[in-house]
């Protein structure tokens, strides 16, 4: 049985942007909405690091995506000239610089992003590293982490669909990114009651599957990329984390 891919995983595609410009395709609109749901926090972090208050950042983030869904911004999109994350960051800069957009942000965007939680957003921002990251660099970091988180959610869903949620929970630390140090193979052999060879195969397959999902996700944010371009983009994103 094929495991359904989480909705947000399929949304960061230039093809979606192309389809959305100049038509009312319901599928494209739905995908754009999911893009908002999946990537509102990098924009929120960018706005907060730009010096806006939590309340203003909430309004501006909602207003920014309202403009995106209205396709005002998408009309200028040219996939051949850059990456999706670069395009959205440029749009966010222009949006903040436009006094009229800022003044109308609350009216246009209130309640647009169903997953937006002002308290959660500020809690997440409060634990951002206290460093000299510029708004642009913080956006890049949060974009990269969003990609990583979405691929992890996808692979976790696949394991759960196969009745292997506990196995994934035990092996998840081998992927790194915030889950602490992995237990030794000897500890896991005893815990999972598996031969060490079988355990190592599970870890290898999990890593390979996650790598494939991550490369696919990165490729979706580029315009008809070569394998080399995808790997270069992934390397750049990892460097932002």
Helix (H, G, I), strand (E, B) or coil at 4: coil
d(CA 1, CA 37): 27
Question: What pTM was estimated for this model as a whole?
Answer: 0.76
Instruction: Give the angle subtended at the CA of 43 by the CAs of 37 and 48, to the nearest 5°.
Output: 130
203, 174 contact by CB (below 8 A):
yes
d(CA 44, CA 57): 6
Q: How many Cβ atoms from other residues are within 10 Å of residue 193's Cβ? A: 8
Q: Which of 161, 211, 208, 214 is closest to 9 using CA atoms?
A: 214
Q: Which of 44, 32, 29 is closest to 8 using CA atoms?
A: 32
Residue 74 burial (10 A CB sphere; 0-12, 13-18, 19+) = buried
**Ramachandran area for residue 178 (φ above 0: left; ψ -120 to 50: alpha; else beta):** left
**Residue 233, C-beta contacts closer than 8 angstroms, at least 6 positions apart:** 83, 218, 221, 222, 225
Task: For residue range 176-235, list pLDDT tens digits in order.
Answer: 876 667 889 999 999 999 999 999 999 999 999 999 999 988 888 887 788 888 899 889
pLDDT band at 2 (very low <50, low <70, confident <90, very high): very low
Task: For residue range 57-97, list pLDDT tens digits in order.
Answer: 888 888 888 777 776 676 666 666 668 888 889 889 988 88
- Residue 202 has a pLDDT of 96
d(CA 34, CA 12): 9
d(CA 19, CA 81): 17
Q: Which of 64, 84, 60 is closest to 73 using CA atoms?
A: 64
């Amino acid at each position: 049985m094929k495991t359904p891919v989480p909705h947000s995983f399929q949304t960061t595609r230039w093809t979606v942007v192309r389809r959305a410009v100049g038509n009312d395709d319901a599928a494209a609109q739905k995908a754009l909405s999911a893009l908002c749901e999946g990537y509102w926090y990098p924009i929120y972090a960018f706005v907060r690091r730009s010096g806006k208050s939590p309340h203003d950042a909430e309004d501006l983030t909602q207003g920014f995506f309202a403009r995106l869904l209205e396709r005002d911004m998408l009309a200028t999109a040219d996939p051949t000239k850059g990456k999706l994350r670069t395009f959205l960051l440029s749009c966010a800069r222009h949006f903040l610089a436009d006094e009229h957009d800022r003044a109308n942000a609350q009216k246009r965007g209130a309640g647009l992003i169903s997953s937006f939680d002002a308290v959660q957003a500020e809690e997440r921002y409060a634990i951002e590293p206290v460093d000299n990251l510029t708004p642009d660099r913080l956006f890049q970091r949060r974009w990269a982490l969003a990609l990583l988180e979405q691929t992890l959610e996808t692979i976790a869903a696949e394991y759960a669909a196969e009745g292997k949620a506990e196995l994934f929970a035990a092996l998840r630390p081998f992927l790194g990114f915030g889950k602490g140090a992995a237990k030794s193979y000897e500890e896991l052999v005893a815990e999972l009651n598996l031969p060490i060879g079988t355990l190592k195969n599970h870890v290898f397959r999990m890593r390979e599957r996650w790598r494939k999902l991550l490369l696919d996700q990165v490729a979706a944010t580029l315009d008809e990329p070569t394998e080399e371009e995808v790997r270069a983009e992934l390397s750049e994103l990892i460097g932002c984390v």
